[in-house]
Structure 1
Amino acid sequence: MDTSIFIADYLEKHQRLIANLPQAKIAELIAIYEKAWQENRQMFVCGNGGSATNASHFITDLSKAASDKMDKPFKGMSLNEHLSWITALGNDYAYEDIYVRQLMNFAQPGDLFMALSVSGNSPNLVKAAKWAKEQGVFVIALVSSRPCQLAELADFLIAVDETHYGRVEDAHMGICHMVCYAFIEKT
């Protein structure tokens, strides 16, 4: 493998994807988070694998860095952070219950639930999104361009125009950073 060709190709595709992110949709997402903040709503985020890491990173930036710049904090929680709770739920119920069972403890109508997923079909995310929607929790999905169940369930959707796992996860994190930095750099 010629790594220089691989790197150039990867970067070219990544740059094209980032340049074509839906700016108007990202602005809407920022407005959704601002409204939830104004209304003191809770904001729950989760994903699996790399998307779990992105969810944790997003909530850290939102709940710490963005909150530092606001006159009150964001009420954010990453549902993939509680290892002992996740393993208890997975063991005692099923792996597909690890997020929905946490939402059952905390989520209220009007709160936000955001799922990050490349496939958009992970059973644990789909089950949490279905429950959230039934309870009046606003469902947000960041997914790839593949047809998926999360896209059908979401009240608000951003589907990035890519299917490559790494580039989709990179784009999702970029979107999450834009949401956070809209508040961090707010003048």
Structure 2
Amino acid sequence: MSDLNDYLVRSAAAISAMVERDLTAEMERAVSTVVTALSQGKALLICGNGGSASDAIHIAGELVGRFLKERKAYNVIALPANAAVLTAWGNDYGFDTVFSRQVEAHGSEGAVLLAISTSGNSPSILAAAEQARAMGMTVISLTGETGGKLKPLTDILLNVPSTSTPIIQQGHLCLYHHLCEAVEARLSNG
């Protein structure tokens, strides 16, 4: 067990490693892709499990509601938020397809899937990415160090250089808050 300062040092090291890795080009592609989709009336669908499910809901809240600016709502759906769909589909057909089924329902060519998986190996996230690609959607992934099995299913990879789940999730928070801020700024400015 570590003390607070040790934990903060490890967290800061992961953020510093992201700065050194320089995800600027990938983030710019992600922002442009989301802005294009939303400006054309297409959806941004977001999925994740556990803490990443909470992140998906957090992102949708920022973009449907507001991040920093008063503006119109954006077409963003957090796939983990619909308990009735998750439990009905999961009970009848299994959990591995709870997100891919919703991608089939809400996705379309030109829409975007933001797939969040710290390991990059979650079966439900992989199935959602496969469904999105089959429908002509762009897949943006937030993962840990390697990208896991999700990496080859991903068009734009934003990966945190760590293997520690909580540290990866903290990196994801930085990345998606920036994404929200940049998307909102561009769409608000026309």
User: One fold, TM greater than 0.5?
Assistant: yes
Q: Is 1:144 paired with 2:144? A: yes
Superposition pairs of residues 62-77 of structure 1, within 5 angstroms: 62-66=63-67, 69-70=70-71, 72-77=72-77
Residue matched to 2:153: 153
For residue 15 of structure 1, the aligned residue among 12, 17, 39 is: 12
Could you list the per-position Cα deviations for residues 31-71 of structure 1 after superposition, in whole angstroms to 9, with x for gaps in the alignment? 2221222222101001000000011101110111049544x
Question: How many angstroms does 1:131 deviate by?
Answer: 1.2
- For 2:30 and 2:64, locate their aligned partners in 1 and report how far apart those are by CA, in whole Å: 16
Question: How many angstroms does 1:185 deviate by?
Answer: 5.5
- For 2:89 and 2:60, locate their aligned partners in 1 and report how far apart those are by CA, in whole Å: 22
Q: Secondary structure at 1:139's aligned position in 2?
A: strand
Question: How many angstroms does 1:27 deviate by?
Answer: 2.7
- For 2:35 and 2:14, locate their aligned partners in 1 and report how far apart those are by CA, in whole Å: 26
- For 1:81 and 1:31, locate their aligned partners in 2 and report how far apart those are by CA, in whole Å: 25
- For 2:64 and 2:50, locate their aligned partners in 1 and report how far apart those are by CA, in whole Å: 21
Q: Is 1:164 paired with 2:164? A: yes
> CA distance change for structure 1 residues 137 and 185 in 2, over 3 Å: closer, same or farther?
closer
Q: Indicate the larger mover: 130-139 or 17-26.
A: 17-26
Superposition pairs of residues 16-165 of structure 1, within 5 angstroms: 16-21=13-18, 22-66=23-67, 69-70=70-71, 72-165=72-165
Could you list the per-position Cα deviations for residues 56-95 of structure 1 after superposition, in whole angstroms to 9, with x for gaps in the alignment? 101110111049544x431000000011110000011111
- Which amino acid in structure 2 is aligned with residue 7 of structure 1? L
Question: How many angstroms does 1:184 deviate by?
Answer: 4.6
- The number of equivalent residue pairs is 183
- Which amino acid in structure 2 is aligned with residue 13 of structure 1? R
Could you list the per-position Cα deviations for residues 80-136 of structure 1 after superposition, in whole angstroms to 9, with x for gaps in the alignment? 001111000001111101101111111111100111011111111101111111110
Q: Indicate the larger mover: 113-122 or 138-147.
A: 138-147
Question: How many angstroms does 1:183 deviate by?
Answer: 4.3
Kept after mapping to 2: 8 A contact 1:96/1:127: yes
Q: Secondary structure at 1:92's aligned position in 2?
A: helix
- For 1:8 and 1:146, locate their aligned partners in 2 and report how far apart those are by CA, in whole Å: 27
Residue matched to 1:179: 179
Q: Secondary structure at 2:61's aligned position in 1?
A: helix
Q: Secondary structure at 1:80's aligned position in 2?
A: helix
Q: Percent identity?
A: 28
* Runs (5+) with no aligned partner, structure 2: none
Q: Secondary structure at 1:136's aligned position in 2?
A: coil
Kept after mapping to 2: 8 A contact 1:41/1:75: yes
